[in-house]
Amino acid sequence: CPSRENWICLDCNVSRCSRYVNGHALAHWEDTKAKEVALLAKNESDSLSDAEVNSGGNAVNDRVSENEASCVAAAAGHCVWVSVSDLSVWCYECNAYLKHPKLDPLLKRLEELKFPSTTSSSEDERQAGHSAASDRRYDSEGVENDEYAEEGSEYSSDDSVAAEAAEAEREASLMWESHPPPPLPESLEEMARFILSPRCKSIAILAGAGMSVASGIPDFRSAGFGMYDTLQPELLTATEVEREAIRVDPTTVFEKNMFIQNQLPCLELKRPFILGTHGRTWKATLAHRFVELLHKKTGKLTRLYTQNIDGLEGQCADLPRDKVVDVHGSMGQAHCEICDSPHGFDWFCSAVRSQIKDVTGQDPNAPEVSTPIPCRVCGQNTVKPTIVLFRSNLPIEFFERIRTDLPSVDLLLIVGTSLTVAPANSLVYKVPHSALRMVVNNEPVGTRLGIRYGEESTRDFFGQGKCDEVFLELMLHLGWIDELKGLADDLPEESAKTLRDRLASANTSGCADDVLSDG
């Protein structure tokens, strides 16, 4: 399959895609296991004596049933596979990754073939999915990744995330009696009480596209009208080979190898977003303002981990910069992809405005032909916003922060994200087993990561709806009405309307003066 998630069967050497693409590797294992079961069953059946068969009765039926069960248990099929992307080894029969000295020679040889220009990485590095890179960053699957991802996006987390989540859930069940979570709130009012209570001391937030949707930022992924679906490769400054690759997979335009080879398609597609960010075309939403007030009013915000690259949280003056981790980079800065030299964002935007054509046809002052923007240090045509490209690396800050932040978290807010992108979605199961988790989204997400809904839920609260609307209700229950009244003029149009309508409703019902007390 033309996919980033291909695996090689160590029994017959066929190559198939993972369960999170088209599931061909899984299907191959199931097919070979079924054939083995049938063969073993035939052999067992042949071993029955004529006397046993002729006698019939329950004894024979029991013997046959036992034989069938033993055949299923004995058959493994072609269950062991090696990942082409990170050289990890997965067993479908065990539903787990494998580590064994007998695998080392094979993996070492595969690593030499895959990374001929690098020294061998350790097994820990290989399992982490990256080579021994000198810049001490970590492998990622995405550019803006979950920035505009919808549930069901093709950028699903890989098998390792599912395995880690399953292990975390098993550990949680073992620790439940000694370290139970607090009582699960049953309403936003009860969640507000928990946030204000002494029991809740540390809050972490994982944010995705839903947090920024009310700002009106252009959509990349939505079916039918997102930029990926409406992309016209023939308008891009690219070779015919590059255009064909983009037709097959529009996300190719944001892959690292493509960018280093030709920066222009990426910059042409990002031009409106780059200049819009520079001109502050989009404003922070009510969801962003909730994060700001959470820190200002309670001091309990440990960290905001945002998968968005829009940088809108930077408009919140009372939200310190060190409280934010840009998991996939930020559009509001520029650097060289090759030498990592920083470039002034004003200078970069001026170059984009004068040297990069507008493929949307909305800017009459844009040049008709794009010309490269070289790095002022190394001279390569590889200057771009500080976003993380596909097949590139996540900043080490992400990994360092989660190691220090998560152990003490009492509440994880999961905001407007499909939870389909690793490793950001690992926060879901890396918070303590005693921590509550609140999902704010239109639809349930993260069930394969261990999040439970309805009667199955013991520590997961579902705030269903648009992020702005859910957080507005929560802020009203938190008693932050005075701060909300002065926000309308600084909000995007949709957020401002949501706020004004709700405040009018609250004033009419007389509930706007309800303020919760601590505890």
Hey, which residues are catalytic here?
328
Q: What is the CA radius of gyration of the chain?
A: 27
Residue 349 labelled as part of a binding site: no
Q: What are phi and psi of 292, to 5 degrees?
A: -60, -45
For residue 81 the two structure tokens come to: 């596979």
Residue 336 labelled as part of a binding site: yes
Q: Round to whole Å and give the CA distance between 451 and 163.
A: 14
In terms of Cα–Cα distance, which of 282, 281, 222, 231 is closest to 252?
Answer: 231
CB-CB contact of 439 with 460 (8 Å): yes
Q: Round to whole Å and give the CA distance between 314 and 215.
A: 14
Residue 511 labelled as part of a binding site: no
- Would you give the DSSP letter of residue 173? H
Residues whose CB falls within 8 Å of the CB of residue 38, separated by 6 or more in sequence, listed in order: none
Residue 17 labelled as part of a binding site: no
Q: Round to whole Å and give the CA distance between 313 and 166.
A: 33
Residues whose CB falls within 8 Å of the CB of residue 2, separated by 6 or more in sequence, listed in order: 248, 249
CB-CB contact of 102 with 145 (8 Å): no
3-state helix, strand, coil in the chain (%, to 5): 45, 15, 40
For residue 342 the two structure tokens come to: 């920083």
DSSP β-bridge partners for residue 17: 6
Residues belonging to the binding site for Zn(2+) are 336, 339, 375, 378
The binding site comprises 336, 339, 375, 378
